[in-house]
Chains A and B, each alone.
Chain A
């Protein structure tokens, strides 16, 4: 069964600093995908970045990068040069190739201080 764990309920970071949000996962399927979503206070879920289990390189999307360590089963999100608008809830999620659904972690509330 798929399982996602985010151990940081909240994080506080100074503007312009880099921040790493932790995510570990567990699955028995060798083929899987890992996702990060951002949820601002308005409530919508915004897709940020995707990493496939067979991808050789870490995924990057603008200021977002995913630090994928397969042996450790971790998929941490790195946000470089944080901005006030980055303040939001961040959810890590995964989907096994054989599964029909996306499973979400508990989320991390990120607050960027000016």
Chain B
């Protein structure tokens, strides 16, 4: 049902490397989100976007940055990865609605491990 894709699925990388987590959706959704989740824990919103050229920071402070140059693409970048960035990163999208019924569609996630 959901046409939202994240790559890579798993990433193991050394400290100090620059990484980009990819997220693409084919549903034409205006809104996209990045959530961070530690194992077995709640999801924390780190970035979101209302549409092209719109990006906002979420509730959880993050050293990552995002861009939204195209509607379907919402990549997340870490300029210098650290072990504290080890986590699962979930991308989601939704169709804008005036009501509260704004269902999020999630990708499969990227499990990032920084050594």
Q: Is the CB of B101 within 8 A of A102?
A: no
Contact of A109 among B40, B43, B59, B92 (CB under 8 A): B40
Give the segment of A11-19, A60-68, A70-78, A90-98 that binds chain B. A90-98
Q: How far is the CB of B82 from chain A (nearest CB, A)?
A: 22
Q: From residue B25, how far is it (CB to closest CB) to chain A in Å?
A: 14
Interface pair B100/A95, CB less than 8 Å apart: yes
Q: Inter-chain contact count A-B, CB under 8 Å?
A: 68
Q: How large is the interface on B (under 10, 10 to 19, 20 to 34, 35 or more residues)?
A: 20 to 34
**Chain A residue contacts of B88, Cβ below 8 A:** 43
Report if B104 contacts A (CB, 8 A): yes
For chain A, the count of residues having a C-beta within 8 Å of the partner chain is 28
For the complex, give the distance between the alpha carbons of A59 and B8 in Å: 36
By the criterion CB–CB under 8 Å, are B107 and A106 in contact?
A: no
Contacting residues, chain A, for B99 (C-beta < 8 A): 31, 33, 52, 97
- B42–A97 CB distance below 8 A: no
